[in-house]
Amino acid sequence: MEVSSAKQYEAGSYDVIVVGAGHAGSEAALAAARMGNRTLLVTISLEMVAFMPCNPSLGGPAKGIVVREIDALGGQMGKNIDQTYVQMRMLNTGKGPAVRALRAQADKHAYHRQMKLTIEQEPNLTLRQATVDDLIVEDGVCCGVITNTGARYRAKAVVLTVGTAARGKIIIGELQYESGPNNSKAAVKLSEALERLGFELERFKTGTPPRVNGNTIDYAATEEQPGDETPHHFSFDTPDSAYLPVKDQLSCWLTYTNPAVHDLIRANLDRAPMFSGLIEGVGPRYCPSIEDKVVRFADKDRHQLFLEPEGRDTDEYYVDGLSTSFPEEIQQQLLHQIKGLEHVEMMRPGYAIEYDVVAPHQLHPTLETKLIKNLYTAGQTNGTSGYEEAAGQGLIAGINAGRRALGLAPFVLKRSDAYIGVMIDDLVTKGTKEPYRLLTSRAEYRLILRHDNADLRLMAMGHALGLVSDERLAAMEAKKATVAAEIKRLATVRLKPGSAADEFIQAHGDHALKDSLTAAALLKRPYVSYDQLLEFIPAPATPLDRQAKEQVEIQLKYEGYIKKEEVKVNRLKRMEAKKIPANIDYDQIDGLATEGRQKLAKIRPETLAQASRISGVNPADLAILSVYIQHH
């Protein structure tokens, strides 16, 4: 406990101050600084910069696409993981391109060190260790922060990315104590300051599994999960030649829970904080604890567990799938019932952590708070779960804080631009009653928002923001031109009946050609790859690289579906163009349903399209609102 307060002193002024250097704060501070703002990044512990307190991995469905989007806009996460991964795998390769997902196992200590070094070397950025206890607010405008050491820093914009440190409380069985993630210090006074300012805070919970000593795992009893041979990377700038051969990657190992584990869990539910009433915070639906899984899915006799290395210079393994807040002794008993872990040594117990969240309906789509001007929030503070979700918001909050400091117009990604746009719109429009996780099913336009085209979608925006260099943009434009030229060429090359291509078609069970067929039309068939097509037609003057080939194939194979989505997007853009006046008084609009009126007044959507996505606002309300806007 802090007993006394330090004497305050004026410690200097900056353009932008970012509070908290997790995944959101790191991106926010780098973005603001790279746009030309003098930026201060203040964090509780420099040992926790971009730290991974939960799973040592990045990517996976939807989340991997976010890492690509961050990279395309000029953020750091993709570059950082490409320099520090121990394994990469492309998931869902048997499915369509909209749900393919790259996932990397991180060396969590190397990831932290590399990001910290990047921040330290950024010219406009100062990194400082301190706990922010209060905000300087004058006439409803945030003008700076006050630290526990008494320093008063002033700024034109402030970004809060406090994460699970916000009045954090760790729970292990009957034990509970004030703490941030991984036994770091909690930030208590800042939550109290936000409540004093009138913010509505909610209480969420997340959890983490035990870590075990890899030397005590019986690997022979588990299934090896190696990385991919095919080169992968998250950043546009990383060449295939930098990819680690599989022999130099670290494997993960698959095992399962079993009925004995489930019986042990059921027998001890009275000691599980989730069920005994100790935990009040709402937990993540898509990352449930093992005790929750066993109770909710009672018909399942086993659940997957992945044993994941935490890095090259440690023997700690993360038991993915065994998130728990059981007492330590029960955690040990559970581990010893699992195949391959019968004699395992637990190094750290799993725990649950409760923390404060700023209810996200209090935010604009720029992530500026509606209550206090020039104050932005991002990451788990806004109710999301996941490093990637945090980093995506951090980037947007940092960009908007930076643009506010420079006197420029705000930047907002639409739902049709990026998964980051989907996430922020979901948060500010619908709010969330549990830790929010991005899923491909949350995006209406997921065939457009693919892993493979993030650079083509967003890099020009990153360049306009000042976060992407001319050279990088030129490389992307060259790729785009190469793909377009090859698609055009394939539409002119014809394959004749009786040709080798015709034999290939018949060998795959299709009818023989009656008339000639374009190479583009042949590539649209599901059994034909671009490389196979080149066996029947002349190669382009300059051979295409792996990424360009992939683009040609996807753009042609899915052309019809992509065009349908583009029609929907254009319809959405027309609704997005219908702006709702900021000072609108919903009580003055006749005919709105009571629920619709209340929801509109609470969330205060900025466009008719955003209003249409609020649950409880019906089509009749929208029609009335649309007419009202036109006449006023």
Contact (CB, 8 A) for 503 and 509: no
Instruction: Please name every residue paired with 147 in a beta bridge, in sequence order, or none if there are none.
Output: 132
Contact (CB, 8 A) for 167 and 187: yes
Distance CA 562, CA 379 (A): 31
Contact (CB, 8 A) for 424 and 610: no
The residues, ordered by sequence, that sit 6+ positions from 168 with a Cβ below 8 Å of its Cβ are 178, 179, 180, 181, 186, 187, 353, 354, 355
349 in a labelled binding site: no
Q: Which two tokens stand for residue 124?
A: 């406009």
Task: Identify the three-state secondary structure at position 609.
Answer: helix
22 in a labelled binding site: yes
Largest CA distance in the chain: 89
Q: Which two tokens stand for residue 512?
A: 């023989």
Position 280, amino acid:
E
> Is the Cα dihedral 365, 370, 373, 374 positive or negative?
negative
What count of other Cβ atoms lies within 10 Å of the Cβ of residue 348?
16
292 in a labelled binding site: yes
Q: For residue 247, count CB atoms less than 10 angstroms from its CB and return exposed for 0-12, middle for 13-18, buried for 19 or more.
A: exposed
151-160 and 9-19 beta bridge pairing: parallel
Nearest to 413 by CA among 379, 460, 353: 460
285 in a labelled binding site: yes
25 in a labelled binding site: yes
284 in a labelled binding site: yes
DSSP label at residue 340:
T
436 in a labelled binding site: no
What's CA 223's distance to the chain center, in Å? 29
Distance CA 578, CA 573 (A): 9
Nearest to 308 by CA among 293, 287, 322, 298: 322
318 in a labelled binding site: no
Distance CA 286, CA 239 (A): 34
What count of other Cβ atoms lies within 10 Å of the Cβ of residue 384?
28
Q: Which two tokens stand for residue 180?
A: 């941030």
295 in a labelled binding site: yes
291 in a labelled binding site: yes
Helix (H) or strand (E) holding 178: strand 175-178
141 in a labelled binding site: no
DSSP label at residue 539:
P
Contact (CB, 8 A) for 303 and 324: no
528 in a labelled binding site: no
DSSP label at residue 384:
B
Distance CA 343, CA 336 (A): 6
231 in a labelled binding site: no
Distance CA 144, CA 156 (A): 8
Instruction: Mark the binding-site residues for FAD, compressed into ranges.
Output: 20-25
Instruction: Mark the binding-site residues for NAD(+), compressed into ranges.
Output: 283-297
Instruction: Mark the binding-site residues, compressed into ranges.
Output: 20-25, 283-297
